[in-house]
Amino acid sequence: MQIYFIQIDDNGPIKIGKAGDPHKRRCELQVAHHRELIIRHIEVPERDAAEREKELHGQFKAHRIRGEWFRPAYEILEFIGRAPLTWEKITALDDDLKFLYEDALVAEYEKEDFGYQCPKLHRWYRGYKPRMLRLVGFGRNQPPEELEGTEAYEICYHKICDALPCPEKCKYFGAPCTHTSL
């Protein structure tokens, strides 16, 4: 017997159950569902499958909907390796991104920055974006893989760019700068 986690579509509830053949079980369940059922995780327990299933149901009981169906809570998604990427997870994988963020928080503008319509835009494109691209997104050419995609890039882009302080006056608007992500 194996333990399976079957999810309804990409964001739906997750069924935690046991079966000799989880793929066959998914097909049986699919007959009763108009939405796609996707096997997200299969595990072969070291001991009795019924005990392991009961243990997992207890572990995730706060997220139980009914019977063997559970809300797709972060805790369950993390357990099956499908948790969404977060800033905390990203900086745990590469603390250079955390240092870049901290640097952006205390950034000071130089005289040359004010020759452009928006000093924040100039500082972002001249210094912070090139540094960030070496650490995250498609410009990263080293593990971990989680940092190579667009999801990690978007999270870092918003976090670091939004950390850059805005100067008192911005020629782009002719008023106090209100730029957030560029």
Domain spans of the chain?
A: 2-79, 87-163
The pLDDT score that the predictor gives to residue 146 is 83
**Residue 32: strand, helix, or coil:** coil
Burial of 33-70, coded b for 16+ CB within 10 Å and e otherwise, reads eeeebeebbebebeeebeebbeebeeebeebeeeebbb
- Output the six-digit token pair for 9: 């579509």
For residue 151, the model assigns a pLDDT of 87
Task: Please list the ranges in the chain whose pLDDT falls under 50.
Answer: 173
The model's pTM is 0.59
Instruction: Give the model's pLDDT for residue 114.
Output: 62
Q: Cα(44)–Cα(40) distance, rounded to whole angstroms?
A: 14
